[in-house]
Amino acid sequence: MNTPSQPSAYAPLKNDTFIRACLRQTTDYTPIWLMRQAGRFLPEYRATRAKAGSFMGLATNVDYATEVSLQPVERFPIDAAILFSDILTVPDAMGLGLSFAEGEGPKFAHPVSNEAAVAKLAVPDMDKLRYVFDAVTSIRKALNGKVPLIGFSGSPWTLACYMVEGAGSDDYRLVKTMLYSRPDLLHKILQINADSVAQYLNAQIEAGAQAVMIFDSWGGALADGAFQQFSLAYTARVLAQLKREHTGARIPRIVFTKGGGLWLQEMGRLDCDVLGLDWTANLAKARAIVGDTKALQGNMDPNVLFASPAQIQAEAIKVLDSFGTPYAGSGIGPTHIFNLGHGVSQHTPPEHVAALVQAVHEYSRKLRS
In the complex, what is the shortest distance from the CB of residue 217 to a copy of itself, in angstroms, rounded to a whole number? 13
Binding region for a copy of itself (CB under 8 A) out of 55-63, 135-143, 201-209, 307-315: 307-315
Helices 173-181 + 183-207 axis angle, to 10: 120
C-beta separation of 85 from 98 below 8 A: no
Torsion angle of the four alpha carbons 295, 20, 145, 358, in this order, in degrees rounded to the nearest 10: 70
**Going residue by residue from 178 to 207, which x/- string records binding to a copy of itself, judged by CB under 8 A?**
-xxx--------------------------
* Binding-site string for a copy of itself from residue 146 to residue 165, where x marks contact by CB under 8 A and - marks none: --------------------
Q: How far is the CB of 235 from a copy of itself (least distance, A)?
A: 17
CB 34 within 8 A of CB 344: yes
Tell me how far apart the alpha carbons of residues 111 and 349 are, in angstroms, rounded to a whole number: 37
Residue 34 engages a copy of itself in binding (rule: CB under 8 A): no
Q: Rounded to whole angstroms, how far apart are CA atoms 35 and 81? A: 10
Q: Which one of 49, 140, 253, 287 is the catalytic residue?
A: 49
Cα–Cα distance for residue pair 87/153, rounded to 1 Å: 6
Distance CA 367, CA 329 (A): 14
Question: Least CB distance from residue 30 to a copy of itself, whole Å?
Answer: 18
10, 162, 200, 234: the active-site residue: 162
Alpha-carbon radius of gyration of the chain: 20
Provide the minimum distance between the beta carbon of 181 and a copy of itself in the complex, in angstroms, as a whole number. 4
| By the rule CB under 8 A, 109 interacts with a copy of itself | no
CB of residue 256 vs a copy of itself: minimum separation in angstroms? 16
Residue 345 lies near a copy of itself (rule: CB under 8 A): yes
229 binds a copy of itself (CB under 8 A): no
Name which of 72 and 261 has its Cβ closer to a copy of itself. Answer: 261
Active-site residue, 20 included: no
Q: CA 167, 171, 173, 179 torsion: positive or negative?
A: positive
DSSP state letters, 45-59: HHHHHHHH-SHHHHH
The residue range among 4-12, 15-23, 245-253, 280-288 that interacts with a copy of itself, by the rule CB under 8 A, is 280-288
- Positions annotated as catalytic residues are 36, 40, 49, 86, 162
